[in-house]
Every structure is written in structure tokens, then in C-alpha cells.
Chain A
Amino acid sequence: MTILKTSVAKKVAMALSGLFLVIFVLLHLAINLTLIYPGKEAFDAAVEFMATNPFIQLMQPILFLTFIFHIGMGIYLEWTNRSKRSVKYVNNNPGVASTWASRNMIWTGLFVLLFLIIHLFNYFVPFKTQEVPDHYALVIRLFKNPYYTLLYVIAFLALGRHLSHGFQSAFQSLGTPREKCNKALVITGKIIAFIVAFGFSAIAIYFYFN
């Protein structure tokens, strides 16, 4: 771990792991969209592909480790950063200089983690263990639960806020020339954040009411 010794190296690692997770989330959204269009057969086929394709099988443990790393390092950095100011300001006004999303990455991140744990137990585990899993039916059944759907929507709104800062922040950490790229990266990050928050939530709400 000597390569991650300095604070700058740690944030580069956070950036790379974060961007990898963004790719995963977008791929996941693309598969979820098949629930609505074209529908059940396409979704089952997509799930079958994800369960059997050798490349995906190879990526699965890498993805799992990336999640563990990004979450663990994020919590560790927040913990150590908090310890750098033992005496707090009596009057502090951070809202004038930075966005809510940028200051609350730990909370949006932890909320997504909470959802992720529930999601794994509700969905991923039954998927892996059921003899003849009917993926489509399992998804629809979960979305009929109002508490699950509510948690799901809030989690993706949190992920949207997380990405609205995280995407452009990752490129800043990787040293992309700011004056040339920043505007495009901020806009792209906001678009991705919106697509993720709106896309996942809309699917959940659609199935709750249909």
C-alpha cells in the first residue's frame, strides 16, 4: 500500500475507482431500462447474459473489490479529514463557497451503501441462490413494496447528488487541464447524475403504479 501513502495518491485512487463505478451504474441502468422496453424477455435475456458471459464473470469480483475500496477509502478519508480540525468554528458559513453535494459526499455515499446492502440481500442473493429464478417477477414484486420503492428512489437521488460532484471531481483529481475541460466535465457530470437519479427512480415508480 506504499503507492497510496500520500493524500494525493489516495484521491487519485478514489477518482479511478469512482469512475469505474460510474460505468457500472450506467450499464446497470441500461439493463434495468429493458424492464420497461422491450420488456420481460429482453430483461431475462440481459440477466442471462450478465450471469454467463465470461468477461462479466471476470469483472464481477473486480467490481466487488472496487466497491469495497471506494467505500472503505471514502470513510477512512472522511474520518481522518474530520480529525484535522479539532476546534470547530462557532460561526461557519460554508454554503457561500461550495455546493451541498461537494460537502456531503460521505452522507450521500453512506446512504447509497445502506441501499446497496439491502439491495444485495433482497435481490442479488436470491438471484444467485434460486434454482430457477424468475428475475422479472422478483423485480416487480420488490417494486410493489412502497417502503422499498421509497428507499430506492431516495437512494438514487442521493447517488445523483454524489455523482453531480463526484464525476467532475474525479477528473480534477486526475489532473485534467481545468480551464480547457472543466465546463464540459461539470455539464457531463450533471447530465450523468440526472440520468442515473431519474432513470432508476422512474423505473421503480413506474412498476409501483403498474
Chain B
Amino acid sequence: MKLNLKIWRQAGPNAKGQMVDYQIDGVESDMSFLEMLDLLNEKLIAKGEEPVAFDHDCREGICGMCSLYINGEAHGPDRLTTTCQLHMRRFKDGETITIEPWRANAFPVIKDLIVDRTALDRIQQAGGYISINTSGRTVDANNIPIPKKDADNAFDAATCIGCGACVATCKNASAMLFVSAKVAQFAQLPQGRVEAAKRVQDMVAVMDAEGFGSCTNTGACEVECPKGISLSNIAILNKEFILAQTK
């Protein structure tokens, strides 16, 4: 395959960036999107040019490191798919592909396609945990009966990999889907209920302080989320937030 790539290049956090055109030949349809970028980088290095910087780690769709806004969509055109699991057979020979970093003021560009997503970590640190001693004489978690439905819903929320596609996709650069997944994961389990009110208020406060926009329920985040995190979680966050005001 031969492709025309339009890639955002930016030398550093404060440098001025721009879209740069690249022609690439020899792309095979069974390559992943990141392997295609690896191929491009090999060619750039061979020519003595600076390779394109992009985030990646497991390349198995579970770590949440890869990002990329491909042809106007977070993680590209496939549903329930991270960029590393997107394959070049999805594209046509001769196609032009635009590749941009996540865009949000809360995610400043570090270099080229790499953005700083530590704002999500700081939200997590504000309450995305349960304060239970997990060393020494702990009680087996299975001693507390939990309805299957609640356990399944909590587990579904917990599959969020924190990649930030929801923020990148949202017209308001809102992190509500991410935050709601963390809140809902714990709110539906007895161990998490104990601190539910404080958790939702603390996490929402940090979310606002980090400069994310507010949720207007467009639902774009749910569609573009590679893990299929449901908008139900945002409804749960809203309910938890309203209930927390009465405490």
C-alpha cells in the first residue's frame, strides 16, 4: 500500500507545531497502525530526519498508552478499538490519513503526537480508590455477597484504560466519561459505598480544576471509547453527586 500521511509535528511543548505531509510506500494491510508509523520512522531515521514521536506500550489494546486522532476520530474509524489494534486493511491504497494528537488544554502536547495525560492521574489520586488496608489480616472480598448485575456493571466501568479518547472526542474536552467510570466502578460495590459521597465530590473538584470542560451529554465519548464505557456511568456520577450534596 501507498499512503499520504498528514502528521502533526511539534518539536516541544512550547514550539510551534504544524501538519507535515509524508508519502509512505510498502505498507502492508496486516500491519497495525503503529507498525505503519514504525515503518515511517525507520525511513525517516534512514534519511537522517527526526522520527515522529507517539505514545505506545502494550500494543494489545489494554494499557491505554496509545492515542492519536486519526481522520477526525479518536483511535481512528473502528469502534471498540485502540489505535494499536487498528489495522491498515481498514484503509485504501493511496488514501490520505491525517494524524493529530489529542486536543485539549488539559492535555498539553509534549512532542509531536505525545500529550501529557497526567491530569487524569491527578483525578484518580483525588478519590479513585478505596481506603482499605490490603496488607496483613484482610477479609476475603468474596465474603461480602454482591448481586451479579452490580458486580458486572462495576467490572464494565473498571475496564476503562484511561486513554483519554473521551476527552479528545468531546466537543467540550470534558473528562466526564473517565471520571464517571471511576466513580461508578466503586459506587456499585459495598466496599466503595463507604466513601462514595466524598469520592465523587473530590474527583469532580479536581476534574474542574484540571481544566476539562463540562459534559453536555452529546454521547460522542461513549461511541469513540475503545472499551465501550457506557454513558450509564455518567448518569450514576450525576446521581452520586446530587446525593452527596445531601450528606
Contact of B241 among A9, A84, A93 (CB under 8 A): A9
Contacting pair A177 B232 (CB below 8 A): yes
> Is residue B64 within 8 Å, beta carbon to beta carbon, of the partner chain?
no
Contacting pair A102 B218 (CB below 8 A): yes
Chain A residue with Cβ nearest B19: A90
Chain A residue with Cβ nearest B72: A93
Residues of A within 8 A of B19 (CB): 90
- Give the distance in Å from the alpha carbon of A9 to the alpha carbon of B204 in the complex: 10
B22-30, B35-43, B134-142, B165-173 - interface stretch: B165-173
B86-94, B98-106, B120-128 - interface stretch: B98-106
Residues of B within 8 A of A77 (CB): 214, 216
Contacting pair B235 A11 (CB below 8 A): no
A111-119, A152-160, A166-174 - interface stretch: A166-174
Q: How far is the CB of B210 from chain A (nearest CB, A)?
A: 10
Contacting pair B173 A11 (CB below 8 A): no
By CB atoms of chain B within 10 A, which of A10, A80, A92, A169 has the most? A92
Within 8 A of B (CB), among A163-197: 165, 168-169, 172-179
Residues of A within 8 A of B13 (CB): none
Contact of B71 among A6, A93, A105 (CB under 8 A): A93
Within 8 A of B (CB), among A83-102: 83-94, 96-99, 102
- Give the distance in Å from the alpha carbon of A128 to the alpha carbon of B246 in the complex: 42
Interface size, A (range): 35 or more
> Is residue B163 within 8 Å, beta carbon to beta carbon, of the partner chain?
no
Contacting pair B238 A102 (CB below 8 A): no
Question: How many residue pairs, one in A and one in B, have C-beta atoms under 8 Å apart?
Answer: 143
Q: How far is the CB of A24 from chain B (nearest CB, A)?
A: 22
Contacting pair A169 B172 (CB below 8 A): no
> Is residue B239 within 8 Å, beta carbon to beta carbon, of the partner chain?
yes
Contact of B238 among A83, A87, A105, A172 (CB under 8 A): A172
Contacting pair B218 A98 (CB below 8 A): yes
Contact of B218 among A90, A96, A99, A177 (CB under 8 A): A99
By CB atoms of chain B within 10 A, which of A9, A10, A88 has the most? A9
Inter-chain pairs besides A84-B105, A85-B173, 18 sampled, C-beta below 8 Å: A7-B174, A7-B207, A7-B208, A12-B242, A80-B213, A81-B214, A85-B104, A85-B105, A85-B172, A94-B171, A99-B219, A102-B216, A102-B217, A169-B216, A172-B235, A174-B238, A175-B241, A176-B239
A-B contact pairs, 20 of them (CB 8 A): A7-B174, A7-B213, A11-B215, A12-B242, A81-B213, A82-B172, A84-B172, A84-B211, A85-B104, A86-B105, A91-B6, A91-B69, A91-B100, A93-B71, A94-B220, A97-B218, A99-B218, A169-B217, A178-B230, A179-B230
